[in-house]
Amino acid sequence: MPYIDTPSNPIHRLWRQVAGWQPDRHSLWRRCAVAVVITLAAAGLRLALAPAESGGRFITLSLAVALSALYGGFQAGMLSTLLGMVLVNFFPVSPSGSLAFQGLREAIWLNLWHFITQLVVVGAIALKQRQNRLWREANETVKRGIRQLEDTFEHSATGMAHSRLDGSWIRVNQTYCDLVGYTRQEMETMSFRDFTHPDDLGLDLELLARTLSGEVDHYSIEKRYVHKRGHTVWVHLTLSLVHTPAGEPDYLIAVVQDVSDRKAIEVALRDSEQLLRQAQHMARLAPWQADMATGRYTTVSQAPEFLDMPSTDYGAEDLMAIIHPEDRPLVQRQWPLAVKGKLPYNVEYRVLIGGQERWHTVQAEFERDAQGRAVRALGVTQDVTERKHTELEIQRLNASLEQRIRQRTQALRGAYDELESYSYAVAHDLRSPLRIINGFAQALQEDHPALDATGRTHLQRIMAASKKMGELIDGLLKLSQYTRGEVQRVPVHLSGIATRQLEELAASDPGRRVTWTVEPDLEVLADPALIEAVMQNLLHNAWKYTAEVPDAHIRVFTEDAHGQRHYCVNDNGAGFDMARATKLFQPFQRLHQPHEFSGLGIGLATARRIVQRHGGTMRAEGVPGQGATFCFTLPDGVE
């Protein structure tokens, strides 16, 4: 039965172990010790098998040298050789230590021949072991290189594949499979044609044909794949042709990189640039830059028509040529100062384009070197002709409107003054008839004591009505007085005014028990007499409408609301219904019956008009039976 060289054959395994033995894995002293033991054992075996005088003294020791060299390498083999020679020459015969050979010449010749023979054997064994070691190292290097290539192929971040010339796959890495969404098993039944986008397949096949014909040895293109799920994947494909040693086409190497994100960015960038161009066109903007060393200007995009420049590159003299002669000194003065960094460059001037006058607004910033010198200007020019025409028209309309407003205001002022004068005159002239009516009524009452009860009642009603009408006339005069004249604004201590008026009210009505609190250090900018009247009306109302409350309390304070300081007077008196609050500030309008609380209904109207004359506002809040709060604002108030 013939010998079969398989890894499971014991002889083969033994031979591989012997061939793969590496003496340098063990220390030198251990290898030498093993060589000594093998040599002594071989010498003992030689003496046990045959007498010392018989021939073939070195045969057994030659085997020991070979074994020592195989185990311990060149040094152990030579040690075994020398030790064996000593044992053969001096110890086989008695007495020990005497030369075992009869003649010196024979001893030298036999020992020299044995030494040379063993040197060749040991050297051959050592050389073979070195060759085996080098072969083994080379084999490990090759295996490691193959493994690294396999890892590079399988774990590459880019898709890699080897394919036959007809497009079928030899091998495909996982990245390539993930790129198109198919498994390895599915890919084995497909070719690149199956998932290449139809619009890109023609170019790919054309380049592949040129490669196979030898016109080119590789090509790179950007193409689209159709993913298994249906969406498009942009890739950068590099295809190389590998030849056989005979120069014939062998197989193809494809390297594919996913560039979908880059493509998306490019599309977004193109869209952004298109939008920017449209925005610049709609806003009539022209970005530009200028090289300060050459004095050349370059528009960033295509020169818009409103610049009327022959190209995107032009010089300072071309720009000055279109600037209106009256505005050139302004540009010639502002530009050098801006270049030196003494002021920002933001200039508006006229240009003459096609015989028409247009307006441009130009802004620029400068890039400077380490010494602060301007090396480049970045700016933008905007055509603002329509805006300037609009501004000029607005100015014309404003001038006309201001004139009409002045005329209308003057007319209104005249009518208002006439109405105020008329109201004052009517109110003043009514006083005399009222005095006469009231005087004759009193005279009739005094001169005719015999009048019956009905007559006396009529006279009393006449006198009461004339008195009421007199009070109404006084209210009208007071209201007219407070709405006329110039408002003088000076610092006024509001806390002091409130405290003094409350003390006066307490002194005039000593039977009342009223407590009050006034926030200290309240100051306002107002007309002293007018603000005195405001506080008098508000505090008088608070005093009046708390008459029916056992524990009456009045409070003067401030609060912040909607970013403004409000000055408030609060009481816990009769209050009012907020549904009827619109009547509070109307002259002669009252929310309570005359028999409940006296008054004409002129106080709050007067207070509100005074506050409005100061440019402020007044508001009121109340709940029936729980009191009321009146607050007003004064612009430029001082805390």
- Assess if residue 426 is contained within a domain: yes
Identify the pLDDT of residue 638. 43
Say whether the peptide bond before residue 304 is cis (omega within 30 degrees of 0): no
- Contact (Cβ atoms closer than 8 angstroms) between residue 620 and residue 629: yes
Q: Which residue has the higher pLDDT, 548 or 459?
A: 548
As given in the structure block, the two tokens for residue 135 are 């072969």
Residue at which a domain ends, from 383, 410, 430: 383
For 378, the 3-state DSSP assignment is strand
> Is the confidence at residue 472, as pLDDT, over 70?
no
Residue at which a domain ends, from 80, 104, 135: 135
- Contact (Cβ atoms closer than 8 angstroms) between residue 471 and residue 594: no
Burial 605-632 (b: 16+ CB within 10 A, else e): bbbbbbbebbebebbbebeeeebbbbbb
Residue with tokens 């960033």: 300
- Assess if residue 62 is contained within a domain: yes
- Assess if residue 144 is contained within a domain: no
Cα–Cα distance for residue pair 431/433, rounded to 1 Å = 6
Identify the pLDDT of residue 182. 93
Cα–Cα distance for residue pair 37/58, rounded to 1 Å = 17
- The amino acid that residue 265 corresponds to is I
Does 228 share its domain with 285? Answer: no
Q: How many CA atoms lie within 13 A of 217 on its CB side?
A: 5
Domain hosting 62: range is: 10-135
Does 423 share its domain with 538? Answer: no
- Assess if residue 191 is contained within a domain: yes
What one-character-per-residue DSSP string does 474-489 give?
HHHHHHHHHTSSPPP-
Does 286 share its domain with 209? Answer: no
Identify the pLDDT of residue 595. 44
As given in the structure block, the two tokens for residue 556 are 């003067």
In this predicted model, what pLDDT tens digit does every residue of 263-291 receive, in sequence order?
Answer: 889 888 888 777 766 766 676 777 888 88
Q: What average pLDDT does this structure show over 603-611?
A: 83
Does 174 share its domain with 218? Answer: yes
Identify the pLDDT of residue 225. 93
Edge-first strand order for the sheet with 618-623 is 514-518, 552-561, 564-571, 627-632, 618-623
Q: What is the bridge-based pairing of β-strands 552-561 and 514-518? A: parallel
- Write the CATH number for 542: 3.30.565.10
What one-character-per-residue DSSP string does 151-200 give?
HHHHH-SSEEEEE-TTSBEEEE-HHHHHHHT--HHHHHT-BHHHHB-HHH
> Is the confidence at residue 531, as pLDDT, over 60?
yes
Identify the pLDDT of residue 519. 93
> Is the confidence at residue 232, as pLDDT, over 60?
yes
Closest by CA to 257, choosing from 165, 149, 173, 137, is: 173
- Assess if residue 305 is contained within a domain: yes
- Assess if residue 605 is contained within a domain: yes
- Contact (Cβ atoms closer than 8 angstroms) between residue 574 and residue 536: no
Identify the pLDDT of residue 220. 93
> Is the confidence at residue 58, as pLDDT, over 50?
yes
Cα–Cα distance for residue pair 481/483, rounded to 1 Å = 6
Residue with tokens 């002091």: 496
Identify the pLDDT of residue 557. 94
Cα–Cα distance for residue pair 246/211, rounded to 1 Å = 17
Cα–Cα distance for residue pair 506/508, rounded to 1 Å = 6
- Scanning 448-548, the segments in alpha helix (DSSP H) are 453-482, 494-508, 528-544
Residue at which a domain ends, from 336, 354, 383: 383
Which DSSP letter does residue 323 get? B
- Write the CATH number for 291: 3.30.450.20
As given in the structure block, the two tokens for residue 75 are 């040094």
Quote the number of domains for the chain: 5
Q: What average pLDDT does this structure show over 413-429?
A: 64
Does 247 share its domain with 208? Answer: yes
Residues, the chain: 639
Q: How many CB atoms lie within 10 A of CB 503?
A: 11
Residue 255 banded pLDDT, cuts 50, 70, 90? very high
As given in the structure block, the two tokens for residue 85 are 């020679």
Residue 477 banded pLDDT, cuts 50, 70, 90? low
Closest by CA to 566, choosing from 494, 481, 468, 461, is: 494
Does 612 share its domain with 514? Answer: yes
Q: What average pLDDT does this structure show over 486-499?
A: 87
Cα–Cα distance for residue pair 459/467, rounded to 1 Å = 12
Q: What average pLDDT does this structure show over 562-581?
A: 84
Residue 510 banded pLDDT, cuts 50, 70, 90? confident
Q: Which residue has the higher pLDDT, 148 or 202?
A: 202
What one-character-per-residue DSSP string does 234-277 give?
EEEEEEEEEE-TTS-EEEEEEEEEE-HHHHHHHHHHHHHHHHHH
Q: What average pLDDT does this structure show over 118-138?
A: 83
Q: The pTM is what?
A: 0.42
Cβ-count burial of 57 within 10 angstroms (0-12 exposed, 13-18 middle, 19+ buried)? buried
Closest by CA to 290, choosing from 360, 376, 381, is: 376
Does 42 share its domain with 124? Answer: yes
> Is the confidence at residue 194, as pLDDT, over 60?
yes
> Is the confidence at residue 609, as pLDDT, over 80?
yes
Does 501 share its domain with 437? Answer: no
Q: What average pLDDT does this structure show over 80-106?
A: 67
For the ranges 70-79, 237-246, 417-426, 485-494, the lowest mean pLDDT is seen at 417-426
In this predicted model, what pLDDT tens digit does every residue of 284-325 receive, in sequence order?
Answer: 777 888 888 888 877 765 555 555 555 567 778 888 888 889
- Contact (Cβ atoms closer than 8 angstroms) between residue 586 and residue 545: no
Residue 452 banded pLDDT, cuts 50, 70, 90? confident
Which DSSP letter does residue 341 get? T
Q: Which residue has the higher pLDDT, 570 or 21?
A: 570
Does 99 share its domain with 122? Answer: yes
Does 22 share its domain with 82? Answer: yes
Burial 152-171 (b: 16+ CB within 10 A, else e): ebeeeeebbbbbeeeeebee
Q: What is the mean pLDDT of the chain?
A: 80
Q: What average pLDDT does this structure show over 80-88?
A: 78
> Is the confidence at residue 46, as pLDDT, over 80?
no
Identify the pLDDT of residue 2. 39
Does 163 share its domain with 123? Answer: no
For the ranges 53-57, 208-212, 371-375, the lowest mean pLDDT is seen at 53-57
Q: What is the bridge-based pairing of β-strands 374-383 and 345-353? A: unpaired
Residue 598 banded pLDDT, cuts 50, 70, 90? low
Does 369 share its domain with 406? Answer: no
Residue 4 banded pLDDT, cuts 50, 70, 90? very low
- Assess if residue 505 is contained within a domain: yes
Q: What average pLDDT does this structure show over 65-81?
A: 81
In this predicted model, what pLDDT tens digit does every residue of 354-377 receive, in sequence order?
Answer: 778 888 888 989 999 888 888 898
> Is the confidence at residue 639, as pLDDT, over 50?
no
Q: What average pLDDT does this structure show over 562-589?
A: 79
- Assess if residue 522 is contained within a domain: yes
- The amino acid that residue 624 corresponds to is P
